[in-house]
Structure 1
Amino acid sequence: MKTKIYGFLMLLLLFSCKKENSDSQNTAFASNDPYRLVLSTVEEARDFYSWTSDRIPMVSAHRGGPYLGYPENSIEAFEHVLRHTPAIIEFDVAITKDSVLILMHDNTVDRTTTGKGRVIDLTFQEIRELNLVDKEGGKTNFRVPTLEEALVWGKGKTLFTVDIKREVPFEMVVDAIKRHQAEPYAAVITYSVNAAKKMHRLHPDLMLSVTIRNEEELQRFEESGIPVDRWIAFTGTTDRPEEFNALLHDLGVFTILGVLGNLDRSAIARGDQIYAEFVEKGADILATDRPIEAAEAIRGLIPEESSKKKYFEIR
């Protein structure tokens, strides 16, 4: 039976005693994840991503949040992150020789699996027979998932941002989202105004991650014809001035700061409190390779009262 979480801090504190080394190698697509972020309609998605002063700062797990023993772009990595914190899950979609959409970042399977070869030259069955490896190169028993499997697994658990690799037709991803009625919880990442406009034409209800790093790019999107309530603004991988974030907030737009890479490394060197500093300057979502650590650092910034809490549940 589902119980609504009216005190989001209580939800976090309830599970904060969990330790990294206490996780078992449970690879089932669990139905009892402690943290759930549930959006049921596209209207709820627009409301959740609409900036208000009581917004709940979030982390986005880059490539699903790989950790030791949990490979990138694997459902097992998604589950691992959600056992520690509510999170948005970012993953990459590639296409096989026989036109199956799978979760894979690189053009080849060499780095992330026990196999070798270009993704586009391998059939899905050939890729499915490979084992995923973690970020240290350790072999796991996990397999490469399909986009279909990810969409089925994610419903009622989390939010996705879907990064479409160059070879993949937008239409195929949109068709999969429509087929699984995933519009409320699957936003699509775009890297240019033209790509965003094409995606919006294909499916006007989709939330779009759009790159807005300066006022010139902001003006282009204001002139694009894409409604502001479909935007989630990716502001780049360099900390943005508070004044620029405020411009986006005045439009009701959530911001995503990419702390992956240099900023994550700065947190390791200087201390995780810098994640809180980014949020205090107006970053609403931190896209990070360290989602568990970043979430812990921003925990104290969650408002005691927020209209967004209604979307968080615990089973």
Structure 2
Amino acid sequence: MRNPLSVTFHLLLSMLVLGCGASTSTSEDLLVSNHYLTFDEVADTRAFFTWNTDWRPMVSAHRGGSYPGYPENAIETFDYVLQHTPALIECDISMTKDSVLVMMHDNTVDRTTSGTGKVGDLTLEKLRSFHLDDASGKSTAFNVPTLREVLEWAKGKAVLTLDIKSNVPYELVLDEIGETASKPHVVLITYSLAAAKKLYSMDPELMLSVTLRNEKEWDRFVETGIPSENIIAFTGVAERSAAFNEKLHQHGVCVILGTLGNLDQRAAARGDQLYKEFVNKGADILATDRPIEAANIIREQP
């Protein structure tokens, strides 16, 4: 039996699906107006990410977002983003020398902290002695969080999409998810169908992000036997056709477009209205380095 989500999390999901709504709406208003989201009906991410015609676009904060004074993969940054908009929080799992799962994108800490060295060569105690740097290299008072801390923080606040780095055994991640009862608000990112099949075999209730950029990749996915209700389709970092996005929708699959990188740069240069064009062509979630800016535009969708 699936564990029900907390009331607070349902309020957040309602806000997400409605594109955050008008600022004058109350939580109760949002729940009443969203006929398919109730306290009892949404028990996990598989239910939440089943696409239907009532879907409203949302953003996923790449590496949790990164703004001046707020470094990537930091709980304080996650909070900062959520103060401005509901968002999925994408973050990266690495492992220390003493086998503690922590949030870090790179193999080394050189770019993102005041320290140096490979993550896998550092103990958690040593890693905690470093301060996180923001994107400009400015040091902050924030430290590297553990996966467990992030899982506990997310309850009632956000859905996490977790990017598992190659040095991290899946078993350890699933243990942490299980011990913190976090499955209802977690999506695991995969980069190959083999990885998706392995995770599905380990727990068929997991929600997975699977890269599906064209018809051939969709056909190969179907051959895996993984139910479409278990996946979100990451369609890459280039726009896909409206027809392909619609095909995914016909199977109840939500579409994540990675605007991080080139598409974000285009939007910053040409105007944030570009984000609307992406969702008008069928992108349901924008995985972006500019979550606040993108959300401000797409929440204006009718």
TM-score normalised by L of structure 2: 0.88
| In structure 2, C-alpha distance between the alignment counterparts of 1:4 and 1:57, rounded to whole Å | 16
How far is 1:39 from its partner?
Answer: 8.5
Distance 1:158 1:4, change over 3 A: closer
Structure 1 residue aligned with 2:190: 190
| In structure 1, C-alpha distance between the alignment counterparts of 2:230 and 2:183, rounded to whole Å | 12
1:148-174 deviations in Å (ceiling 9; x for gaps): 000000001010000000100011101
Q: Say whether 1:249 aligns with 2:249.
A: yes
Structure 1 residue aligned with 2:138: 138
| In structure 1, C-alpha distance between the alignment counterparts of 2:220 and 2:183, rounded to whole Å | 25
Matched letter for residue 194 of structure 2:
N
Structure 2 residue aligned with 1:82: 82
Structure 2 residue aligned with 1:285: 285
Q: 1:163-182, aligned counterparts within 5 Å?
A: 163-182=163-182
Distance 1:41 1:63, change over 3 A: farther
Aligned length: 281
Moved more, 2-11 or 245-254: 2-11
Structure 1 residue aligned with 2:220: 220
Q: Say whether 1:72 aligns with 2:72.
A: yes
Q: 1:87-102, aligned counterparts within 5 Å?
A: 87-102=87-102
**In structure 1, which of residues 13, 35, 40 is the aligned counterpart of residue 23 of structure 2?**
13
Distance 1:9 1:281, change over 3 A: closer
SS at match of 1:209: strand
**Gapped regions of structure 2 (runs ≥ 5):** 1-6, 26-36
Structure 1 residue aligned with 2:233: 233
| In structure 1, C-alpha distance between the alignment counterparts of 2:206 and 2:20, rounded to whole Å | 32
Q: 1:200-215, aligned counterparts within 5 Å?
A: 200-215=200-215
Structure 2 residue aligned with 1:269: 269
How far is 1:46 from its partner?
Answer: 1.9
- Asked if 2 retains the 8 angstrom alpha-carbon contact of 1:39 and 1:185, the reply is no
**CA RMSD in angstroms, aligned pairs only:** 2.2
Structure 1 residue aligned with 2:153: 153
**Gapped regions of structure 1 (runs ≥ 5):** 16-36, 303-315
Structure 2 residue aligned with 1:308: none
SS at match of 1:191: coil
| In structure 2, C-alpha distance between the alignment counterparts of 1:210 and 1:55, rounded to whole Å | 20
How far is 1:97 from its partner?
Answer: 0.5
Structure 1 residue aligned with 2:115: 115
How far is 1:38 from its partner?
Answer: 10
How far is 1:47 from its partner?
Answer: 2.1
Structure 1 residue aligned with 2:126: 126
Distance 1:167 1:79, change over 3 A: same
SS at match of 1:99: coil
Distance 1:292 1:217, change over 3 A: same
Distance 1:161 1:10, change over 3 A: closer
Distance 1:123 1:87, change over 3 A: same
- Asked if 2 retains the 8 angstrom alpha-carbon contact of 1:41 and 1:183, the reply is no
Flag as ranges the 4+ runs of structure 1 deviating above 6 A: 37-42
SS at match of 1:13: coil
Matched letter for residue 254 of structure 1:
C
Distance 1:212 1:284, change over 3 A: same
SS at match of 1:184: helix
- Asked if 2 retains the 8 angstrom alpha-carbon contact of 1:127 and 1:144, the reply is yes
1:155-207 deviations in Å (ceiling 9; x for gaps): 01010000000100011101111111111101100000000000111111110
1:255-285 deviations in Å (ceiling 9; x for gaps): 0000000000000111000101000000000
| In structure 2, C-alpha distance between the alignment counterparts of 1:91 and 1:285, rounded to whole Å | 16
- Asked if 2 retains the 8 angstrom alpha-carbon contact of 1:64 and 1:73, the reply is yes
| In structure 1, C-alpha distance between the alignment counterparts of 2:38 and 2:179, rounded to whole Å | 19
- Asked if 2 retains the 8 angstrom alpha-carbon contact of 1:65 and 1:78, the reply is yes
Moved more, 201-210 or 142-151: 201-210
| In structure 1, C-alpha distance between the alignment counterparts of 2:205 and 2:78, rounded to whole Å | 25
| In structure 2, C-alpha distance between the alignment counterparts of 1:122 and 1:222, rounded to whole Å | 41
- Asked if 2 retains the 8 angstrom alpha-carbon contact of 1:88 and 1:161, the reply is yes
- Asked if 1 retains the 8 angstrom alpha-carbon contact of 2:20 and 2:85, the reply is no
| In structure 2, C-alpha distance between the alignment counterparts of 1:86 and 1:176, rounded to whole Å | 24
Percent identity, aligned pairs only? 55
- Asked if 2 retains the 8 angstrom alpha-carbon contact of 1:39 and 1:156, the reply is no
Q: Say whether 1:104 aligns with 2:104.
A: yes
| In structure 2, C-alpha distance between the alignment counterparts of 1:4 and 1:131, rounded to whole Å | 34
Q: 1:54-69, aligned counterparts within 5 Å?
A: 54-69=54-69
